[in-house]
Amino acid sequence: MFEAVIVPHRSLSRRGMLRLQAVIIGLCCLTALRFWLLGAWPVLAFSFVEIGIAVFLLHLNVQRARASEMVLLSEDALRVVRTDRHGRRQESSINSAWLNVVMEEAPGRVPKLLLVARGAREEIGAVLGEREKRDLAAALRSALYDARNPRFDNPQLRDC
């Protein structure tokens, strides 16, 4: 009845990430070369550490982009299937009969999007921004309303 796939936003493709790494490495090497030519050779060690940290953090960013979250609403339950950056899946299910979609506001922070049902609370869409969370909450509320209030269309009962 409803399906949403949530993935972290990443603006660079694989090729773009490789180019960014090449630019960072090139600039750090040029800086290190300049200091080496000036006689400050200990700066070389710090430059190589800086390059290693930058490449590691960019690699970590690429790995985290592999994570995803899928929200599936059926007639009897809402399933949340999370896949972490290593490909491991975790699935949870909440009965949709008692399900409420709640936006938990906190001053100065992005609100949390929670699924609440009979003591069960689960946050979804943690990687989304405020506008995307509000759009997802509205779409999920609409799907829950449609699931709880079905419209039956019998052509024989229509006015001719």
Model pLDDT, residue 63: 82
From CA 158, how far away is CA 160, in angstroms rounded?
6
Give yes or no for a contact between 91 and 114, defined as CB atoms under 8 angstroms apart. Answer: no
DSSP 10: -
Confidence at residue 91, expressed as pLDDT on a 0 to 100 scale: 92
Tell me the per-residue pLDDT of 20-33, one tens digit each, with 9 for 90 and over: 999 999 999 999 99
Taking 70 as the pLDDT cut, the residues of the chain under it are: 160
Distance CA(8)–CA(129), nearest Å, equals: 10
pTM summary value: 0.69
Helices (H), the chain: 14-37, 43-64, 130-148
- Residue 124, strand partner residues: 113
Among 137, 133, 132, residue whose Cα is nearest residue 116: 137
**What pLDDT does residue 160 have?**
60
